[in-house]
Structure 1
Amino acid sequence: MQSSLFTAAFVAALLLSYLTRLWLATRQMRHVAAHRGSVPPAFASTVSLEVHQKAADYTLAHARFGLVGAAVGAAVLLGWTLLGGLDLLNATLRDALLPQWGAMAYQLALLGAFALIGGLLELPLDWYGTFRIEQRFGFNRMSLRLWLLDMLKGAAVGALIGLPLAALILWIMAASGGLWWLWAWFAWVGFNLVLLLLYPTVIAPLFNKFEPLADESLRARVQALMQRCGFAAKGLFVMDGSRRSAHANAYFTGLGSSKRVVFFDTLLQRLSSAEVEAVLAHELGHFRHRHVQKRMIGIFAFSLAGLALLGWLAGNGAFYTGLGVLPNLAAPNDALALLLFMLAMPVFTFFIAPLLAQLSRRQEFEADAYACQQASGRDLANALLKLHEDNAATLTPDPLYVRFYYSHPPASERLAALSAVAKPAPAA
């Protein structure tokens, strides 16, 4: 009976989440297509019809591709679970490895094989997105060789980092009794904090080149801004983002004393020094309002709740059979539990996406307001317009689609808020 309830809940959540994705995507496509023919009045003097139509076409292409990706993802998920894919993989590796190599080797092999097969299944979609959609709109700058090299590097880094962490979590699950999930959470949090420290200097340079910011005038301007904002960074770096894409960005990375500011070279090529300063002031607004810390705390709290739930589910046989897997009788089920939980949870957590998106948009407004205090709101608005153009972001998204998915406010709302903040208060 319990097994049937697990199956019914999973199928219902999967179907409802897929239909919701389909409904929202078709709304977005209709809305963008209906407004493709003319630039919104608020942007008529700053955005050409050609640029507006390119953004609409890019958005429509991604929306259609997203529908294919959602359908493939749902089919793969069913293949792994109710259609028996994970059960077959588990039985094959268990019978082949458990007698000679032991429980830990078998479970690590199961996790590794699952990751490898999942990655291979995603390759065609990733290739199409890069070499068809991004290439068509002039954004892709990667060769096939570089794309493949990135795939191999990513797999190697994932194995070097992921397998030791997985071994630690599996050991904790086997050795810590009923509260294993709490100790596993401490290990996961510690791992993430260490990774934040190591990422800027150890991992990121494996994929991109980082050079110190050479523009002395811009460097002085940026350092003065950070001093005003009380922000200390280990360095200012330029990343060769143009090697892979025409998209532009800037970000902070690292933790504590390892924090560094990174500019895409495409950003510096496109924006003036004043506009770069305004964009960085926005990023510093996230620092000032402690958005990064708040997001980390939220992620850690959510992961604690998730592991506690897994701690209960892992001991319930209906959790396995309800999702198409026969639990092991003579071998541990810890790796199976982790994989099933990872597969099933996204179809349920999908429905909290609007709440997270709303929180993110509110934080973006707060960061914009802070940027207007530390730099020029006009420069920030100009920079945002250029970035919208460079990234082919549509100016006419469907409002409901925005509320569900957008982590950043659409350009119309964001520029209107900037205008209101930047205006002097009326005389009494």
Structure 2
Amino acid sequence: MEVAEFLNLSPLPVSLAFVAAVLLSFAAKLWLATRQVRHVLQHRGAVPAPFAATVPLAAHQKAADYTVARSRFGLLHLAWDTALLMGWTLLGGLDLVNQWALAALLPHGAMAYQLGLLAAFTLLSGLLDLPWSLYDTFRLEQRFGFNRSTLKLFVADALKGLLVGALLGLPIAALILWLMASAGKTWWLWAWGAWMGFNLLMLVLYPTLIAPLFNKFEPLADAALKTRVEGLMARCGFAARGLFVMDGSRRSAHGNAYFTGLGAAKRVVFFDTLLARLNPAEVEAVLAHELGHFKRRHVLQRMVLMFALSLAGFALLGWLSTQAAFYLGLGVRPNLGAPNDALALLLFMLATPPLGFFLTPLMAHWSRRHEFEADAYACQQASGPDLSAALLKLHEDNAGTLTPDPVYARFYYSHPPASERLAAIAARP
């Protein structure tokens, strides 16, 4: 797309709107995080009454200290990310990388230039975030006894992730860039279709081709537990290709269980750390909760919402990519005689999160409602007391605070606070 094709609008309103969104989101995150830290510290000294008989004081205090440490680390990371966002945009960082890509890669073709620009930005962003990831894994998680990774494993994961990202990301990026250049004014509709197709394909391929690159998956060997789980799945009318145990303990002491895949490729995966902590009845209750998400069509609803939001995003990008003010207002000079499609993609990815942040409480509220519904289903298909016992164990093992700030929880929490969740389970007949 040539600069002459752009609509001639002033870039100043774009710059002002962007700065306002960044500052407002930063201020909101800062206020919420400080509320959380203050509230958790105020309630650190005693286990809340509903948990006094089941949660040791030492575990409660560890959860409080972990929550506060993560919040303070998050505030530092937030300040860094905000400064970096301004550096990429209004301070000219992305424009500088683009000028380099034009000089070095455009002689090799427009597609080589655009893919090179995307790759360079991704690599630089990853390198700038690397110190934070290292500190998170080897200092913060290590301090509280959760990290089991090694530097060798960390580096291997990063290199594998880079390779997989290139093998999967570059082809879909090339397809979208080609559609932006060739499919006319409705390119965004075709690009959305390609993106959705790619995501659905990944749901099928991820369990068998990608996940095993990072973890080992062994068939569930516990015959009694396997019989119990298969009985639950039969009662719920759920079919899966297999039951697997993942070596999550190689990297972390945190426990989890999940479903992965789509259609006939669905798998049930248990972390080995989860199986080591819960008894068979508790495992069955946790799995019944996850099955509740499928039976109540939560997974389908979330997929439909993802489709709708991505469609709206591509439509918005289709319009913004024709506005000179979109580029200039965000600190980038549009190319003369070269495609601007990769620039538009990068600017859109940088500019939209501060605006999308304000949808967080709506999405969190919707997710919490789904969690209550899945808990209710689990109580019908398994045991409410076993589900409560499992949730308490997982809460303790993952050092989840029992005393979150109510406003913080309403804004961010995708799962209800433990007190509300356990009270709802206990109230069921």
- 1:122-137 matches, within 5 Å, as 122-137=129-144
State the match for 1:16 in structure 2: 24
Quote the Cα distance in structure 1 between the aligned partners of 2:10 and 2:273: 55
State the match for 1:284 in structure 2: 291
- AA at the equivalent of 1:79: G
Quote the Cα distance in structure 1 between the aligned partners of 2:91 and 2:224: 61
| Partner of residue 63 from structure 2, selected from 41, 51, 55 | 55
Q: Say if 2:140 is the partner of 1:147.
A: no
| Partner of residue 160 from structure 1, selected from 167, 185, 195 | 167
Q: Say if 2:181 is the partner of 1:186.
A: no
SS in 1 for 2:307: helix
Quote the Cα distance in structure 2 between the aligned partners of 1:96 and 1:143: 37
- 1:270-281 matches, within 5 Å, as 270-281=277-288
State the match for 1:33 in structure 2: 41
After superposition, what is the alpha-carbon deviation per residue over 1:295-331, rounded to whole angstroms, capped at 9, x for unaligned? 0110110000010000000000000000000000110
State the match for 1:359 in structure 2: 366
State the match for 2:254 in structure 1: 247
Quote the Cα distance in structure 2 between the aligned partners of 1:181 and 1:361: 32
| Partner of residue 342 from structure 1, selected from 326, 341, 349 | 349
- 1:246-395 matches, within 5 Å, as 246-395=253-402
State the match for 1:7 in structure 2: 15
TM superposition shift of 1:96: 1.6
Quote the Cα distance in structure 2 between the aligned partners of 1:97 and 1:262: 44
After superposition, what is the alpha-carbon deviation per residue over 1:109-164, rounded to whole angstroms, capped at 9, x for unaligned? 00000000000011000111111110000000000110111111111100100000
Quote the Cα distance in structure 1 between the aligned partners of 2:22 and 2:131: 23
- 1:66-85 matches, within 5 Å, as 66-85=74-93
State the match for 1:97 in structure 2: 105
Q: TM-score, normalised by structure 1?
A: 0.98
By relative contact order (CA 8 Å, sep 6+), the higher-ranking structure is: 2
State the match for 1:205 in structure 2: 212
- AA at the equivalent of 1:232: A
TM superposition shift of 1:64: 0.1
- 1:212-231 matches, within 5 Å, as 212-231=219-238
Quote the Cα distance in structure 2 between the aligned partners of 1:300 and 1:176: 20
Quote the Cα distance in structure 2 between the aligned partners of 1:367 and 1:66: 30
- 1:102-121 matches, within 5 Å, as 102-121=109-128
TM superposition shift of 1:409: 0.4
Q: TM-score, normalised by structure 2?
A: 0.98
Quote the Cα distance in structure 1 between the aligned partners of 2:199 and 2:395: 32
TM superposition shift of 1:2: 2.4
State the match for 2:3 in structure 1: none
Which runs of 4 or more aligned residues in structure 1 lie more than 2 Å from their structure 2 counterparts after TM superposition?
none
State the match for 1:426 in structure 2: none
After superposition, what is the alpha-carbon deviation per residue over 1:365-396, rounded to whole angstroms, capped at 9, x for unaligned? 00000000000000000000000000000000
After superposition, what is the alpha-carbon deviation per residue over 1:340-388, rounded to whole angstroms, capped at 9, x for unaligned? 0000000000000000000000000000000000000000000000000
SS in 1 for 2:270: strand
Aligned positions, number = 421
Quote the Cα distance in structure 2 between the aligned partners of 1:339 and 1:319: 12
RMSD: 0.5
State the match for 1:415 in structure 2: 422
Quote the Cα distance in structure 2 between the aligned partners of 1:53 and 1:113: 44
Quote the Cα distance in structure 1 between the aligned partners of 2:71 and 2:34: 8
After superposition, what is the alpha-carbon deviation per residue over 1:277-310, rounded to whole angstroms, capped at 9, x for unaligned? 0000000000100111110110110000010000
TM superposition shift of 1:66: 0.4
Structure 1: runs of 5 or more not aligned: 424-428
Quote the Cα distance in structure 2 between the aligned partners of 1:51 and 1:376: 25
- AA at the equivalent of 1:61: A
- AA at the equivalent of 2:64: A
SS in 2 for 1:2: coil
Quote the Cα distance in structure 2 between the aligned partners of 1:342 and 1:300: 17
SS in 1 for 2:245: strand
TM superposition shift of 1:97: 1.4
SS in 1 for 2:189: helix
State the match for 2:6 in structure 1: none
- AA at the equivalent of 1:288: K
Structure 2: runs of 5 or more not aligned: 1-8
Quote the Cα distance in structure 1 between the aligned partners of 2:161 and 2:46: 42
- AA at the equivalent of 1:21: K
